[in-house]
Amino acid sequence: QPRLQPSANPAQIRHGSNTTMAKNNRGRTISVKGHITSNTSLSLSLLSNAQPWPVSG
């Protein structure tokens, strides 16, 4: 769960519709987006390190 991961910021948990679903339903993400299976972990790392959305709070 993202809450237990230090890399998960409160902003990501609030906006977690993308990050949380990607981490929890990794199998579904691979099934739907099979063409970026090898980049799944990379995408998660990018989300953890660089937030594409503005942080307001």
The confidence score (pLDDT) of residue 10 equals 56
pLDDT tens track, the chain, 57 positions:
445 555 555 555 554 455 555 555 555 554 455 555 555 566 666 666 655 566 665
User: How buried is residue 50: exposed, middle or buried, by Cβ count under 10 Å (0-12/13-18/19+)?
Assistant: exposed
Q: Where are the domains of the chain?
A: 2-46
Is residue 45 within a helix (H) or strand (E), and if so which, with residue range?
Answer: helix 40-49
